[in-house]
Amino acid sequence: MHQVTTATAKFVFLAVILGAMSGGICSKPSYAQEPADEVESLYDRFEDKEEKESQSRQEAKKSQKTIKPSHISDLAQLSPFEDIAVIQRRFLPKTNRFEASLVGTIATNNAFFNTNGAALKAAYFFKEKYGLEFTYMFINSQERTITENLLNVQQIQTSSFVEPKNYMGLSFKWSPIYGKVAWLDNRIVPFDIYFTPGFGMTKTALGKSEMTASLGFGQNFGLSKNWAIRWDFNWNFYQATVINQTTSLEENKFHSDLFLSLGASWYFPEADYR
């Protein structure tokens, strides 16, 4: 009888222990369930908010007229942070290319002659910023009224004045400045500013060829990868031979010609990059 009671007590004690363990194990998920529900609720609210914002953006895009900006003024019609317009770089590449130019020119500082002409220029660029340019300039001069009066009234011959006939020279072409400009609010035009120090020979009306130092600068505006419009200022310095009116002998006279040129350039071969 005592053994049965002891066995029963052991059984009851074991049942209590197992029950307690079972209750603890079962109750554990109930405590963990609350944080999981809160996280799930946060995800649901975030997804709902994101979906509403996405729908609002889609509705705004549908109601807004589609704009493809082709003019600078069109950029003002784009919605901030909604439509993005990228201005492409219209680059005029020059490395390992030739440039052939035809320009018209006038002399701006000759007091005795109206001087104008045309020039052919040929350049080769071994780097984007550096090149060599050959120039041949044909010059036509006509006497101004003051020169005719000196000849007719005071019998001063034009041989005492410097009258250039042509110039041929070689220049180093350096293009350190480039950028873009807006043309009449219609298009973006790339440009280069360059400097052209060089030397050459100037032939005068007396048939003399004078060693000439040249300083110049200019600018070109790229129309495409092959074509550009250019303008130049070139200042040529040389010792010119003239006839002294008193002695009728030749003498040297320092002279300079300041030429303003405007024309077009063609770049070749075809660019295969950018």
**Cβ distance 123 to 173 under 8 Å?**
yes
Q: Per residue in 214-264, pLDDT tens?
A: 999 999 999 988 999 999 999 999 999 998 888 889 999 999 999 999 999
Q: Name the E strands within 184-226.
A: 187-195, 198-204, 209-222
- If one counts every other C-beta atom within 10 angstroms of the C-beta of residue 226, the result is 15
What local confidence, expressed as pLDDT, does residue 26 receive? Answer: 46
What local confidence, expressed as pLDDT, does residue 271 receive? Answer: 79
Name the architecture of domain 97-268. Beta Barrel (2.40)
Is residue 46 pLDDT above 70, yes or no? Answer: no
Closest Cα to residue 131, out of 104, 166, 92, 103?
Answer: 92
Closest Cα to residue 67, out of 56, 86, 55, 83?
Answer: 83
> What are the residue ranges spanned by the domains of the chain?
1-63, 97-268
Answer whether 0.75 is exceeded by the pTM.
no
Question: What does the pLDDT average to over 121-139?
Answer: 97
Higher pLDDT: 61 or 141? It is 141
